Amino acid sequence: MNDPAARHAGLAVRASDAERGQTVALLRRGFGDGRLTQAELEERAGAACEAQTRAELRDLTADLPAAQDRPPRAGMALNPRLLCVLACVHPPAALVYWLLCRRSRSR
């Protein structure tokens, strides 16, 4: 798939729900790393949920490092203030954040 036309055609493919979810997860990591503001996260996550093609999803995360580009973390410390904000704004995200922090401490 080194042909530029074939790569472009791959981006025009309709996005799946799983791809939208992966994009939102990458945006949340960007927010957690301090790369995005709360407003940017909300705007981009909303756009990701409404995206119809892979190209649209790629454009939402083009300025964020991919997961494999991130330096490894020694451990993720629970930020109570962030947990409280997430619990008010998006309770499922707060639960995921809490579980991830708890998991990283047990390693």
Query: What are 92's two structure tokens?
Result: 């499922």
Q: pLDDT-derived band of residue 1, with 50, 70 and 90 as boundaries?
A: very low
CA 45/CA 20 separation, integer angstroms:
9
- CB-count exposure of residue 59 (10 Å: 0-12, 13-18, 19+): middle
Whether 25 has a pLDDT exceeding 70, the answer reads yes
Q: Does residue 38 have a pLDDT over 80?
A: yes
Q: Which one is predicted more confidently, 1 or 44? A: 44
Question: What are the extents of the domains in the chain?
Answer: 1-69, 72-107
pLDDT tens readout for residues 50-94: 999 999 999 999 999 875 555 555 556 778 888 888 889 888 888
